[in-house]
Amino acid sequence: MAGSCVGLDDVSTLADVSMIRSYRSAVRNRFAWIQSDEGIITESLRIREYRRRVAGTKSSRHPWLHTVVGIVGLGLALPVLMWSVAAILPSHNAFTFISSVLVGLLAVPALIITTVALILGLLGRGALRMVTVVTSVMALIVPITTTATTTWITDRAGGSINVLSATAVSSMSDHPDKTVRYGSDADETAQIYRPTSRHARVLVDIHGGGWNTDASMPATLRWFANRGWLVIRPSYTLATQGHPTWNIAPKQVACAWAWSLSHVKELGGDPSQVSIMGDSAGGGMAINLAYGAASGKLTSSCGPMRAPKSVLALYPTVDVGAVESVTTLGAGNAAKMYLGGTPKQFPDRYRTVNSSTWITPQAPPTMVIQGKHDTFVPPSSVRQFVDHARQAEVEVDHVQLPMLNHAFGSQARNSLGFQVITSLGQRFLTDH
C-alpha cells in the first residue's frame, strides 16, 4: 500500500537540520549580545584578564631575574647617593672635601650611571623596586643640578659645555715641549708648551699648590698650546716649615715674567699679545704681578716690566688672611707657612700679598672663576676683591659656579670643570 512514510534516514536528517538551526540561532543570539554594551564590557574584561594571566605566567617563569635586576640597580645608585650627600656637606674632612672637589669630574658620569640604575629599578618588583627607584631619584639630584647649573652659567659667561664629551674624561698627564732657565737659582726654571704656529699669543701660567707644592695642570696648558698659544709655566721656590717665601716667590715670578717678555719672540710668540693666568696661590700672585706692573709699582732686576693684556685667575688667593682663617685640611697652615706666621704677627706681610693692595685703575681686564663651594679660598673674600676692583673701574668678569669646590678644573680632561676653564679662558683671553 502506497503512503507517505518517513524512514530512519529521513528522521536523522530532520534532527540534523533542527540542530543546525538551533546552533545558528544560538550564534546569532550570542553575536547580538556581544554587540550590546553589556557584551562589549564583559568580553573586554575577559580579554584583559586573559592577558594579565598570560603576562603573569610569563613573569613568573623567572622571578629571580627581576630580583637580580633590582639589586644591580640599587648597587649602582647607592654609591652615587653616598657621594652626592658627601659632596654637598661642609668639607670638614678628607672624604667630604674630595667628594666635593670631584663634583666637576663625576657629575655627568654619575648622571648616566644613576639613570641606568633608575631603569633597572623600574624593572624590579616589590619592595626592592620601590627602594631602588627612590634611591636612584635621590642620587640624581646632585648630578643633574651640577650639570645644568654649570652648563647654563658657562654659556651665559660666553663659554660652552659639551655634556657628551664630559662622559669621556681622561688623564691630565702631559709633558712640556721644553724646559728652560729664567734665572740662576735651581728653582728658577720654566716649562714651555709650543703651539704649531709662529707669532702666537702668549700665556704665562703661575701654578698653584698652596705656596708649598707644585700643583700641575699639564692637560690644560696643552689644550691652550693646541689652540695656538705659546704657554710659559715658571716654577718658584716653595715654602717649607720655618722657611716662608712671601718675599721670595713673588720676586721670582716677576723675574720669570720679565724674562718671558724678552724671550717671547725667539720662542715663537707675539710680544704684543702676552697674558697671564694663575690658579689658587698662583692666581693671587698673577693678579698682584699684573696689577703691580700696570701701576708701575712692581719692578724686576731681570728686565723691563709691563702689564699683561689680560689676567685669568682661577679660584685665586686674593686675601691670604682669609685663607689663614680656614681650618679645613691645613689651608690655614699653608698660609702661615708662606707668610711665616699669623696676620696679628705680621700684618704688613699679609697686606703686601693681599691683591686689593695692588688695585689701581690701570689694572688690565681680569676674569675670576671660582666655585661657590670653595673650601680653601673663601668665596666672600673673592667677592670683596672683585667689588673693590670694580669700584676702581677695573674691568672684571666674575664667574661663580654654585656646585663646585676648589681646584674643580684640575682633575681630568674633558670634565665639566676642565671645559669651564678652557672655554671661558679661551674666550676671555682672545677677546682681550
**Quick one: what percent of the chain has pLDDT higher than 90?**
74
Query: In degrees, to the nearest 5, what angle opens at C-alpha 336 toward C-alphas 347 and 278?
Result: 95
* HEC readout, 78-116: HHHHHHHHHHHCCCCCHHHHHHHHCHHHHHHHHHHHHHH
> Which residue type sits at 296?
G
Quote the pLDDT of residue 21: 63
Q: What is the DSSP string of 171-215?
A: ------SEEEESSSSTT-EEEEE--SSSSEEEEEEE--STTTS--
d(CA 250, CA 253): 5
Q: 198: closest CA among 268, 132, 136, 254?
A: 268
Q: Given pLDDT bands bounded at 50, 70 and 90, which one contains residue 126?
A: confident
Q: Given pLDDT bands bounded at 50, 70 and 90, which one contains residue 273?
A: very high
Q: Are 182 and 174 in contact (CB under 8 A)?
A: no
pLDDT for 56-111, tens place per residue? 554 455 677 888 888 999 999 999 999 999 998 887 788 888 888 899 999 999 99
- Cell digits for 130? 620601590
Q: 369: closest CA among 418, 415, 307?
A: 418
Q: What is the DSSP pairing of strand 189-193 with strand 178-181?
A: antiparallel
Find cell 681622561 and name the residue: 170
Domains of the chain and any CATH numbers: 63-154 (no CATH), 176-431 (3.40.50.1820)
> Which residue type sits at 50?
Y
Quote the pLDDT of residue 62: 65
Phi and psi for 124 in degrees, rounded to 5? -75, -170
Give the pTM: 0.84
Q: What is the DSSP pairing of strand 178-181 with strand 200-206?
A: unpaired
Look at the alpha carbons of 46, 51, 52, 53 in this order and tell me if their dihedral is positive or negative: positive
pLDDT for 297-333, tens place per residue? 999 989 999 999 999 999 999 999 999 999 877 889 9
d(CA 13, CA 4): 16
Q: 319: closest CA among 354, 360, 357?
A: 354
d(CA 4, CA 328): 120
